[in-house]
């Protein structure tokens, strides 16, 4: 595992209902996916493209652009938060029933090094190939 992978594994994804940790689908989030019959999900943020921290107003513009792209999927606002570093929290979305190709397209378009992608049982990172 490289240093970047280790940093990403210390991130949690949360909103007012759930906390998702790398590799683990459990509790209320798992129950919600089962109740809604969602098969897959991803978390993506448009913040800080290519892991370069940019100003808040630029991140807000990028968030609005991402929001407009999500009309065809069910989604919920969420936040990614690093638990072992001072990297700033990033707003984004948990997107439900998105296939891997569509998730990767959003990842490329918003220049995200990694996004969390999974199903009802497990999740892992999709890494941007450059």
What does 42-110 look like in DSSP terms, one character per residue?
A: EEE--SSGGG----HHHHHHHHHHHHHHTTTS-EEEEEEEESSS-PPPEEEEEEES--HHHHHHHHHHT
With tokens 């595992």, the residue in question is 1
Domain that holds residue 68: 3-127
Name the least confident of 5-14, 56-65, 77-86.
Answer: 5-14
Number of domains in the chain: 1
Strand boundaries in the chain, DSSP class E: 11-14, 19-21, 40-44, 75-82, 90-96, 114-119, 123-127
pLDDT tens profile 42-70: 999 999 999 899 999 999 999 999 999 99
Task: Check whether 124 has a pLDDT greater than 80.
Answer: yes
Q: Tell me 24's DSSP state.
A: B
Strands 40-44 and 19-21, bridge-based pairing:
unpaired
Give which of 49, 109, 115 is closest to 78, Cα–Cα: 115
pLDDT tens profile 83-123: 888 888 999 999 999 999 999 999 999 999 999 999 999 99
State how far the Cα of 28 lies from the Cα of 63, in Å rounded to an integer: 26
Query: What is the model's pLDDT at position 2?
Result: 65
Query: What is the model's pLDDT at position 84?
Result: 86
Query: What is the model's pLDDT at position 64?
Result: 97
Query: Does residue 94 contact residue 75 with C-beta atoms inside 8 Å?
Result: yes
Share of the chain above pLDDT 90, in %: 67
Query: What is the model's pLDDT at position 98?
Result: 98
């Amino acid at each position: 595992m490289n240093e970047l992978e280790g940093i990403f594994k210390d991130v949690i994804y949360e909103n007012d209902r759930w906390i998702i940790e790398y590799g683990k689908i459990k509790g209320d989030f798992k129950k919600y996916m089962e109740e809604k019959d969602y098969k897959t999900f991803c978390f993506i943020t448009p913040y800080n493209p290519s892991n370069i921290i940019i100003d808040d107003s630029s991140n807000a513009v990028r968030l609005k652009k991402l929001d407009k792209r999500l009309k065809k999927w069910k989604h919920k606002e969420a936040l990614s938060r690093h638990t072992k570093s001072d990297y700033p929290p990033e707003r984004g979305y948990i997107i439900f029933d998105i296939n891997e190709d569509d998730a990767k397209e959003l990842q490329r378009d918003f220049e995200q090094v990694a996004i969390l992608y999974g199903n009802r049982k497990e999740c892992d990172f999709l890494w941007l190939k450059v």
